[in-house]
Amino acid sequence: MSADKKMGADAVMAKGWLGAHKWLLLRRISQIGILALFLLGPLAGIWIVKGNLAYSLTLDTLPLSDPYVLLQSMLARHMPEKLALIGAAIVIGFYALAGGRAYCAWVCPVNMVTDFAAWLRRLFSIKSGARFSRMTRYWILAMTLVLALASGTIAWEMLNPVSMLHRGLIFGLGTAWTIILAVFLFDLFVSPDGWCGHLCPVGACYSLIGKTSLVRVNAAKRDACNDCMDCFVVCPEPQVIKPALKGAAKGLGPVITSANCTNCGRCIDVCSKEVFGFGLRFNHKADNNAPQGHATALGNRP
Amino acid sequence: MNTQRPDSKQAARRQFLLDMAKTACGVGMFGLGLGLYARQAHALPPAAIRPPGALPEPDFQGACIRCGMCVRDCPYNILELARPEDDLATGTPYFVARKIPCEMCEDIPCIKACPTGALDHQLTDINKAKMGLAALVDQETCLNFLGLRCDVCYRVCPVIDKAITLERVHNFRTGKHTMFLPTVHSEHCTGCGKCEKSCVLEVAAIKVLPFLLAKGELGKHYQLGWEEKKKAGESLVAPEIEHQYNLPEGFKYEQGPGLSGEAVAPPAAQPGAPQALHGDKL
């Protein structure tokens, strides 16, 4: 991408603004919609969903629980009640199919904060940044599990910005906004994609859950790529794109198989050549040069 | 990779190990800080009372996933989730008795709502709840201790006459009145906090405290002689010596009923003599 050309401008020209922001808009609708469902109870007295992302009960029947917090609780030597375990099983099952980090892109409220920081970074061309390993999140994940085991408490929940923001918005934020602001400023000035892409153990846990997930982004029409680099610029995990987009020579398939891909679909949006699309994991395994048309179309909630 | 010279391979390995060490140290230090911070919240601040059935504090923090289901299902909106600035573990439920006490619902909806059992589902009788323990912490300001008949904490107690009784004690100040001292019995107190909420003072003289803070514990080897005697059905120290009272002719003193016999002539009020001791041998 040249300095004077705006990222995604080609896509807007080719597909129109709406076409170039389709998945982004759907994602925002999903994120805000889920938050709204949780807020409908306390604000309007319409109780569709009770609880928060740690555990919720929808329409008094569907339990959903966060497997990561439940795992910490079990390591702290407590066995949860049946309903929480069923909820975790449903969540694990869903994300094992839909892509683990679809949670990050489509549900997590912190994503809107860090996306905003990333947008500002691009807008003001903030290039500075401490670079450190994207593996750090797995170290932190391991650390929180060890901490739960050693302390007998869910120590990570004292600090977890993800649950703090979501719980705060529903039950009262208090000074939790300072932690969210810290995440925002960290992403804006200290490290690009610093929180979600490098540190967050919640996302790391969902990565592991969705390691072999069915729903994947693929670069089915990678032959049409014109090397504009927009997808690399917009992607919060750019390292996942390269093997799928440029791996034809090495015999790699066009499906993005990395568990760190958040299935956010921004690469699909910003590509003017419509190289990317949602599809299934085992689609296009063999075809390096001749894509078999479009990937299986999917709904707005992968 | 296999085209690289051995020394560059070694350098790459060295870099890899250094990066690993850097990350491990950073994360380790972060974990240490978080662990120490989490330890600080181990002790529940005295003003915060957990909902009924809550496990003992460190266990509770391993069991509670901070989902707020108990908050939602409390019909009186008593519970709150701790915010980061509060002194207790972020996101965990509590209530402040002086603000709004537990109504002790018979069906205990908060426990039913808890998906993890941080609120123990074994507890089905709210009268067996141990949210905390009321303690009359300030006898200097309690109106009943001052000789008045406030009695409010006693009257509002949902387990009246069991959890709080009024113990009658002679008022030595006036010499002729009885003080009705509110007395908490830990066996029956649920820690609901109604007494603290209703205490008429500016600052409550009776407070609900975490059980560990409010309750003493006898030495394991302590035996209460009178209990042992009751259990055995007889005195364990034989022969039991009966105390001989030196009383005027015709008087008799028994434990319990007290002095009996001929009409007790009130001793002429002697200035300076403690009036309280009338009827007794001075």
Please choose, from the candidates A265, A266, A261, the residue with its C-alpha nearest in 3D space to the C-alpha of residue A299.
A265
Q: How confident is the model at residue B237 (pLDDT cuts 50, 70, 90)?
A: confident
Nearest Cβ partner for B61 among A50, A83, A153: A153
Residue of B32, B59, B72, B73 for testing the chain A interface, max A β-carbons within 10 Å: B72
According to DSSP, the β-strands at B251-254 and B258-261 are: antiparallel
- Angle in degrees, CA B202, B203, B207, rounded to 5: 140
Q: Among A134, A162, A166, A171, which would you mutate to test the B interface (most chain B Cβ atoms within 10 Å of its Cβ)?
A: A171
**Token output for B254:** 């028994």
Q: Which residue of B has its CA nearest to A168?
A: B83
Nearest to A73 among B37, B91, B116 (CB): B116
A162 in reach of chain B (CB within 8 A): no
Contact call for B63 and A80, based on CB within 8 A: yes
Question: Taking CB atoms and an 8 Å cutoff, what residues of chain A touch B90?
Answer: 157-159, 164, 176
The answer to whether A11 touches A228, Cβ cutoff 8 Å, is no
Q: Which of A267-281, B14-28, B131-145 has the highest mean pLDDT?
A: B131-145
**The pLDDT of residue B262:** 63
Environment class of A285 (CB within 10 Å of its CB; exposed 0-12, middle 13-18, buried 19+): exposed
Q: Average pLDDT for residues A176-196, to the nearest whole number?
A: 88
Q: Decide if B116 and A55 are in contact by the 8 Å CB cutoff.
A: yes
| A positions 61-90 inside 8 Å of B (CB) | 63, 65-66, 69-70, 73, 76-81, 83-84, 87
> B201 to chain A, minimum CA–CA distance in Å?
30
User: What was the pLDDT predicted at B195?
Assistant: 94
**How many CB atoms within 10 Å of residue B51?**
26
The pLDDT assigned to B233 comes to 82
% pLDDT > 90, chain B: 42
CB nearest B81 (choices: A65, A153, A171): A171
Residue B260 tokens read as: 């009996």
Neighbours of B203 (CB within 10 A): 9
State whether residue A145 sits within 8 Å of chain B by CB: no
B162-202: pLDDT as tens digits: 999 999 999 888 888 999 999 999 999 999 999 999 999 99
Task: Give B-chain residues touching A143 at CB under 8 angstroms.
Answer: 27-28, 30-31
Do you find a cis peptide bond into B239, omega within 30 degrees of 0? yes
Minimal CA separation from A213 to chain B, in Å: 26
Q: Which two tokens stand for residue A79?
A: 């066995």
- Looking at beta carbons, which residues of chain A come within 8 Å of B41? 158
**Chain A residues in contact with B61 (beta carbon < 8 A):** 76, 152-154
- What is d(CA B39, CA B87) in angstroms, rounded to the nearest whole number? 12
Q: Is B66 within 8 Å of A76 when comparing Cβ atoms?
A: no
On chain A, the residues whose CB falls within 8 A of the CB of B42 are 153
Residue B52's pLDDT is what?
A: 93
What pLDDT score was predicted for residue A295? Answer: 41
Report the residue from B31, B38, B72 with minimal CB separation from A153: B38
Nearest to A78 among B35, B59, B71 (CB): B59
Q: Tens digits of per-residue pLDDT, A35-92?
A: 999 998 888 888 888 888 889 888 888 899 999 999 999 998 888 888 889 999 999 9
Contact list in A for residue B63 (CB cut-off 8 A) is 73, 76, 78, 80
Give kind and range of the element (H or E) at residue A14. helix A9-19
- As a whole number, mean pLDDT of residues A281-302 equals 46
**Beta bridge mates, A121:** none
How many beta-carbon pairs below 8 A join chains A and B? 160
Q: Which has the minimum average pLDDT: A5-9, A84-88, B48-52, B224-228?
A: A5-9
As given in the structure block, the two tokens for residue B142 are 């309690």
ipTM score: 0.81
Q: How do residues B93-119 score in pLDDT, each as one tens digit?
A: 999 999 999 999 999 999 999 999 899
Residue B227 has pLDDT above 50, yes or no: yes
A236 pLDDT exceeds 60? yes
Residue A151 confidence (pLDDT): 84
Indicate if the alpha-carbon torsion angle B142, B147, B148, B154 is positive or negative: positive
Share of chain B above pLDDT 70, in %: 87
Q: In this complex, is the C-beta atom of B123 within 8 Å of any C-beta atom belonging to chain A?
A: no
